Amino acid sequence: MSLILVITAVVTLLAAVAAMSLRNLVHSALTLAVSFSGVAAIYLQLNAEFAGFTEILVYVGAIAILIVMAILLTRSGETPEKSVLTSGWLAGIAVTALVFTILGWAVLSSSALPAAPAVPPHVTVKDIGMQLMTQYVLPLEIIGLVLTVAMIGAVVIACKEEAPARILPVVAKTTEPQPAPGNPAAPIPAAAGAFKKAGAA
Amino acid sequence: MNPLQFCLLVSALLFSIGFAGAVTRRHAILVLVGIELMLNAGNLNLIAFWRFGPHPEALTGFIFVLFSMALAAAEAAVGLALVIAIYRHKKTSNLDEVKELKG
C-alpha cells in the first residue's frame, strides 16, 4: 500500500464530503468532479488503466457536466438561505453510521479476503476488446439497447410538452364569433397559430 | 491492513458519504449526486477485488465495472431528466415539497 494511494484516497473522500455538504450546488458539482478524478486515479494505481480513463470520460466528462446543466436548467445555482437538509436528517445520519459500522466491521474482521498476488495483472485494451467481443458480446448488445432506451426516455421525459388539449379550447372560445364556414376543424389550427404568435410577442 | 482491505474501507467510506448525502440533502440533484457516489464506491469494490483476487486475467470484475459505468450513465441521464420535468411542473426541486405520492 503506497503513500500515493493513501493521499489519493484522502483527496477523493474529502472532495466527496465537500460535494455532499457544501450549500451551493455549483460548488458541489465541481467538488464532485474532483472526487470522480480521485476515483479514476485510484483505478490507475490498481492497474486498471482502461477503467480509469473510462471513469474520467464518463463521469468527469459527461455526468458532472450533465449535473451542472441540470443545476442551471432548474435555476438552483444560488446559495439557499434556508436549511439544505431534509426534515428527517438525524435519522439519515444514524442509518449512515450504522451502515458504515457494519461495512467496516465486515471488511476488517473478514477472514475470506484473498491475499494480494505478487504479480500485478497486466491488461491491454486488446484483451478487453477480445473479451467484450467474444464472451461478453450479448451483455454488450444489451447495454447498447439500454443506453438507447435511456436516451430516448430522457428526451421524452425532459422535452417541452405541447399540451394542445389544455390550452386550445380556451383560445378557440375567444375566436368563436368568426367560424370558418363548412370546415369545423379549421379554427383550431388558426387559433393555435394566433396563440403561438401571442406567446412569442 | 493489506491493500485490499484499504481499498474496501475507502469504498465503504465513499458509499457512506454518498448515502448520507442522498438521505439528508433536500435538493433532488444532490440526491442523484449521492447515488452516483454510491455507484462509484461499488465500482471501486469490484476493481479492488479484481486486482487482488486470485484470477485477474479472467477480467470478470473489470468488465463488470465497464457495464456498471454504462448503466450509471443511463441512470444519471434519466434521473436528471426527471428532475427537470418535476421542476417544470412544480417550479421547485425541493424534495420536501414534492409529496403527492405520500400516503
Give A169-199 pLDDT, tens digit per residue: 555 555 555 555 555 554 555 555 545 555 4
Q: For the residues B94-103, what does the mean pLDDT come to? A: 81
Chain B residues with CB-CB distance to A149 below 8 A: 74
Question: Considering chain A, what percentage of its residues have pLDDT values greater than 90?
Answer: 56
* Beta carbons of A67 and B74 less than 8 Å apart: no
The pLDDT, as a whole number, for residue A86 is 80
Could you tell me the residue ranges of all domains in chain B?
3-90
How far from the centroid of its chain's Cα atoms is residue A124's Cα?
29
Chain A residue with the nearest C-alpha to that of B78: A154
What is the distance between the alpha carbons of residues B22 and A85, in angstroms, rounded to a whole number?
Answer: 10
* Beta carbons of B23 and A128 less than 8 Å apart: no
Query: Per-residue DSSP letters for A90-136?
Result: HHHHHHHHHHHHHHHHHHHH-S-PPPPPSSPP---HHHHHHHHHTTT
Among the partner residues B16, B43, B63, nearest to A136 by beta-carbon distance: B63
Question: Which residues 12-31 on chain B approach chain A with CB closer than 8 angstroms?
Answer: 12-21, 23-27, 29-30
* Beta carbons of A48 and B84 less than 8 Å apart: no
Residue A123 C-alpha, separation from nearest chain B C-alpha, in angstroms: 8
pLDDT tens digits along B25-57: 888 999 999 999 999 999 999 999 998 888 888
Topology of the domain covering A1-80: Four Helix Bundle (Hemerythrin (Met), subunit A) (1.20.120)
Q: Which range scores top for mean pLDDT: A81-90, A115-124, B28-37, B88-97?
A: B28-37
Residue B20 C-alpha, separation from nearest chain A C-alpha, in angstroms: 6
Among the partner residues B13, B59, B70, nearest to A123 by beta-carbon distance: B59
Could you tell me the residue ranges of all domains in chain A?
1-80, 122-161
The mean pLDDT value of chain A amounts to 82
Q: What burial letters (b/e) apply to A85-114, b meaning 16+ CB within 10 Å?
A: bbeebeebeebbeeebeebbeebeeeeebe
Question: Which three three-digit cell numbers place residue B52?
Answer: 487482488
Alpha helices, DSSP H, located in B1-103: 3-24, 28-52, 60-90
Predicted structure pTM score: 0.82
Residue A61: other Cβ atoms inside 10 A: 13
Topology of the domain covering B3-90: Helix Hairpins (1.10.287)
* Beta carbons of A96 and B20 less than 8 Å apart: yes
pLDDT tens digits along A52-83: 999 999 999 999 999 999 999 888 777 777 77
The pLDDT, as a whole number, for residue A122 is 83
Q: Which helix (H) or strand (E) holds A138?
A: helix A137-158
The pLDDT, as a whole number, for residue A118 is 61
Q: For the residues A150-171, what does the mean pLDDT come to? A: 73
pLDDT tens digits along B47-85: 999 988 888 888 899 999 999 999 999 999 999 999 999
pLDDT for residue A12 is more than 90 = yes
